[in-house]
Each structure stands twice: as structure tokens, then as C-alpha cells.
Amino acid sequence: MRRTEAALLAVAVCATGCGYHVAGMSDIMPQTIHTIAIGTFANRSIQYKLAQRLPADIAREFIERTRYKIVTDPKNADAVLDGAVLNFVSYPIIADQATGRATVVQCSAYLKITLTERATGKVLFTRPSFEARERYEISVDPQAYFDESGAGIERLGRDVARDVVTSILEKF
């Protein structure tokens, strides 16, 4: 019995001291941060939809995954998240052999993200060249054509929000 107890104790001690944690569950933010303001994203690209939806997507992700309260006024926040869509490109990656028409399009967005502690001006997180990608299909039949680009932008916004919040929490 003593060996079993000693082995279990050793495993427990090792497991608690190794720094192991479940991805997305860590929070390396300063304890003084309780509220975050997410400003309007600047848009330096030709795609207006993404810059408009990102603040709401990121706010939703923070609310769902963290203890932080999201506020609209930066003066009432402990930290302020600023961002900009620097570039947006989309291009065909797969074409129909018979018609030569594009069937799958890849869109890539390049962003700049900065989280700053309002009281001190200290930059808590910055990513000057954050890249996100999304693919969507295009129907080859003109009669059955459905513009998937809007849904592709929605998925891209959700993916960016998830990646931004994870990166901030993990300081990755």
C-alpha cells in the first residue's frame, strides 16, 4: 500500500508543478484588467465587411470564453483593444477542369492588433501582422449559383476572433 500511495503522490506533485494546462484556459493577463474596450477597426483594405464585423466577433469571443467585461467607452476600460484590417485578398485556388471556372476561393486577411493597458499605456499584446485565411466554394452551375463570399467573411471573422482572443490569453 505504501508504494502505491507514494507513487500517486509523486505523480500528483509532478503534474501540478509542470505548468501543464488545457489550451485556451490560461490567462496571463494582469490581475488589474477587468474591463476591455474594443474600438472600431480601421480598414485599409477593399473589403469593408470584415472590419465592420470584427469588433463584435471579438467582443462575443471574450464574453463567451473569459471573465472580462466588454465596455464601449475606452475611458471606462482597464484595457483597450485596437485593430486594423491592413489588407484583404481573395483568389481562386481550384478550378473546374471542364469550364476553367473557379470552384474554390481562398481569402486572406492581414490585421494589426494591439491591446493596451489604459492606466499605464503599457502594451499587453501586439501582433503587427496577424494573418487569417478562409476558403469558400463557388458553384460551377450558373443556374445554381449562390454567392458564398458573405458566409466566407462571417466564418473568417469568427476564426479571427477566436485566434485573437486565444493569442491574447496565451500571449502567443
Does 16 fall in a domain? no
User: Which residue range(s) make up the domain with 107?
Assistant: 26-170
Task: Identify the bridge partners of residue 85 per DSSP, sorted by sequence position.
Answer: 43, 111
Cell of 68: 472580462
Per-residue pLDDT of the chain (172 residues; tens, 9 = 90+): 566 555 444 544 444 444 444 444 445 788 999 999 999 999 999 888 889 999 999 999 999 999 999 999 999 999 999 999 999 988 787 777 777 777 788 888 999 999 999 999 999 999 999 998 887 777 666 555 455 667 778 888 898 999 999 999 987 5
Does 86 fall in a domain? yes
Does 117 fall in a domain? yes
Does 68 fall in a domain? yes
Does 1 fall in a domain? no
Cell of 138: 463557388
Number of residues that this document lists for the chain: 172
User: CA-CA distance, 52 to 22, in Å (whole number)?
Assistant: 32
Does 148 fall in a domain? yes
> What per-residue confidence (pLDDT) applies to 75?
95
SS3 at position 154: helix
- Looking up residue 81, the CATH number of its domain turns out to be 3.30.160.150
Does 10 fall in a domain? no
* H helix and E strand count, the chain: 3, 6
Does 87 fall in a domain? yes
Cell of 22: 488545457
SS3 at position 147: coil
User: Over the range 44-72, which residues count as b (16 or more CB within 10 Å of their CB) and which as e?
Assistant: ebebebbbebbbebbbbbbeebeebebbe
Cell of 106: 481562398
What are the φ/ψ torsions at residue 111 (nearest 5 degrees)?
A: -125, 165
How many structural domains comprise the chain? 1
